[in-house]
């Protein structure tokens, strides 16, 4: 691996310029089992050396713990990093399977102050609404988010898992720099409506879980057998039992294409997501998550891979064959409301 820096891209017409691949930091404190924190810190530093500048967190990741963990890194490199965090979601401590969603203005104001405190910075570069509370008009929530921009607490706005209509309504209130939604070889529902809307509006797409939460790399095959008891992926229907074995078989073409490129299956999965920028005609900045510096290098190197039309055609049928939904309750994400 050379130290060549990855290319850059702009999030939205007026948004920040970032490395064309970001780093998902959620797993460093939440959802994916135990973390070696020294390795995680080394992963953050290595990413920055390679030109990865967009760092993704949320107040919900470990009930603030992820933001606190990232704070020293952000403070040490404040002018080089683009800090993205999110509000709206909380997980009741007595029931980790539940999710509470709030988008009302007083909640947003409390949430931003708490995130700023934990992060130890005076401004958040990209502030996302993590999930949509359908009981609050989106214009009202985005109106408050826009006030935060005017007040200098936040620089740019983003939305996660919104429908195309929600995105249009929000963008009419204040420019939205990025939509963050799940997008990978296994999860392509946003291509029907959200992606065309983002392209029309000049909004960037920030695909989360571009490695299918690790499944596309082959790093686990069955969440119940291979992952720790508290791992979130055990709650996702596609990663357990008969679904998991059927889905593992779908990875064969990914492996074959990887071999032809002298690459790993994960790199092919990432190259596919990056190539959506050319296929769909919009800016795409995926945020693969890893806690290991070697994997940061591997993932960054995928930005230099180009798949042929024939390879893209071989990968095309995979998503439609995936057994099991991406969340147990699809009302939680945009596809459940489109
Ligand atoms: N907006 C939302 O609702 C939402 C939802 C989920 C995630 N996110 C964000 O998106 C980010 C990325 O998504 P994600 O972490 O869920 O899924 P992902 O990026 O698809 O996959 C992460 C998993 O893959 C493993 N991995 C990463 N690189 C690898 C490599 N080169 N070889 C083998 N395994 C590798 C990681 O393990 P190690 O860490 O052990 O390397 C981790 O278990 C998150 O960190 C979070 O910031 C947002």
Q: For the domain that residue 69 is a member of, what is the CATH number?
A: 3.20.20.100
Of the candidates 247, 213, 219, which has an alpha carbon nearest to the alpha carbon of residue 232? 213
- Residue 323 inside a domain? The answer is no
Instruction: Please tell me the distance between residue 212's alpha carbon and the centre of ligand 1 in angstroms.
Output: 8
Catalytic site residue 61? yes
Residue 197: predicted pLDDT: 98
Rounded CA-CA distance 327/151 in Å is 36
Rounded CA-CA distance 142/249 in Å is 43
pLDDT, tens only, 296-315: 999 999 999 999 999 999 99
Q: Is the dihedral of CA 325, 338, 102, 29 positive or negative?
A: positive
Residue 210: predicted pLDDT: 98
Residue 222: predicted pLDDT: 94
Q: Is the dihedral of CA 156, 59, 179, 279 positive or negative?
A: positive
Per the structure, the complete domain to which residue 175 belongs is given by 8-221+273-305
Q: Which atom of ligand 1 is nearest to the CA of 32?
A: 43
Residue 2: predicted pLDDT: 62
Query: Distances in Å between the alpha carbon of 306 and those of 7, 123, 294?
Result: 14, 36, 21
Residue 70: predicted pLDDT: 98
Strands 100-101, 23-24: pairing is: unpaired
Is 295 a pocket residue for ligand 1 (Cβ < 6 Å)? yes
Domain count, the chain: 1
- Residue 91 inside a domain? The answer is yes
Residue 96: predicted pLDDT: 78
Q: Provide the 10 A C-beta neighbour count for residue 113.
A: 12
pLDDT, tens only, 85-139: 999 999 888 887 788 999 999 999 999 999 999 999 999 999 999 999 999 999 9
Q: Provide the 10 A C-beta neighbour count for residue 270.
A: 29
The mean of the pLDDT values for the chain is: 96
Instruction: Please tell me the distance between residue 225's alpha carbon and the centre of ligand 1 in angstroms.
Output: 19
3-state secondary structure 195-219: HHHHHHHCCEEEEECCCHHHHHHCC
Is 299 a pocket residue for ligand 1 (Cβ < 6 Å)? yes
Please state whether 51 falls in left (phi above 0), alpha (psi between -120 and 50) or beta: left
Q: CA dihedral defined by 292, 293, 299, 300, rounded to 10 degrees? A: 150
Kindly give the parts of the chain with pLDDT less than 50. none
- Residue 256 inside a domain? The answer is no
Residue 54: predicted pLDDT: 99
Query: Distances in Å between the alpha carbon of 13 and those of 113, 200, 281, 284?
Result: 27, 12, 14, 13
- Residue 242 inside a domain? The answer is no
- Residue 235 inside a domain? The answer is no
Is 213 a pocket residue for ligand 1 (Cβ < 6 Å)? yes
Confirm if 26 and 289 have CB atoms less than 8 A apart. yes
- Residue 325 inside a domain? The answer is no
Rounded CA-CA distance 49/288 in Å is 16
Q: Provide the 10 A C-beta neighbour count for residue 177.
A: 28
- Residue 336 inside a domain? The answer is no
Is 160 a pocket residue for ligand 1 (Cβ < 6 Å)? yes
- Among the options 32, 61, 127, 208, which is catalytic? 61
- Residue 133 inside a domain? The answer is yes
């Amino acid at each position: 691996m050379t130290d060549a820096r990855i290319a850059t891209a702009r999030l939205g017409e007026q948004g920040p310029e970032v490395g064309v691949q970001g780093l998902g930091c959620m797993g460093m404190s939440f959802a994916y089992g135990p973390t070696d924190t020294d390795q995680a810190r080394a992963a953050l530093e290595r990413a920055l050396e390679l030109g990865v500048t967009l760092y993704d967190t949320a107040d919900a990741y470990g009930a603030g713990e992820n933001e606190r963990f990232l704070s020293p890194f952000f403070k040490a490199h404040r002018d080089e990093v683009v800090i993205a965090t999110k509000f709206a979601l909380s997980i009741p401590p007595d029931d980790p399977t539940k999710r509470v969603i709030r988008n009302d203005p007083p909640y947003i104001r409390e949430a931003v102050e708490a995130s700023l405190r934990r992060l130890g910075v005076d401004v958040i570069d990209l502030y996302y609404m993590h999930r949509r509370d359908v009981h609050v008009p989106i214009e009202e929530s985005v109106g408050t988010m826009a006030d935060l921009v005017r007040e200098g607490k936040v620089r740019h706005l983003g939305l996660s898992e919104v429908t195309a209509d929600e995105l249009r309504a929000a963008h009419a209130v204040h420019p939205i720099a990025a939509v963050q939604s799940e997008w990978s070889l296994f999860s392509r529902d946003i291509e029907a409506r959200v992606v065309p809307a983002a392209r029309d509006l000049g909004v960037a797409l920030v695909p989360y879980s571009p490695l299918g939460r690790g499944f596309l790399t082959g790093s686990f095959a069955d969440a119940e057998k291979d992952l720790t008891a508290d791992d979130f992926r055990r709650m996702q229907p596609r990663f357990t039992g008969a679904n998991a074995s059927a889905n593992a078989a779908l990875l064969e073409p990914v492996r074959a294409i990887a071999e032809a490129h002298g690459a790993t299956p994960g790199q092919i999965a990432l190259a596919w997501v990056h190539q959506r920028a050319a296929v769909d005609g919009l800016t795409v900045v995926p945020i693969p998550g890893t806690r290991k510096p070697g994997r940061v290098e591997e993932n960054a190197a995928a930005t230099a891979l180009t798949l042929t039309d024939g390879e893209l055609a071989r990968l095309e049928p995979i998503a439609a064959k995936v057994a099991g939904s991406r969340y147990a309750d699809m009302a939680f994400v945009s596809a459940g409301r489109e």
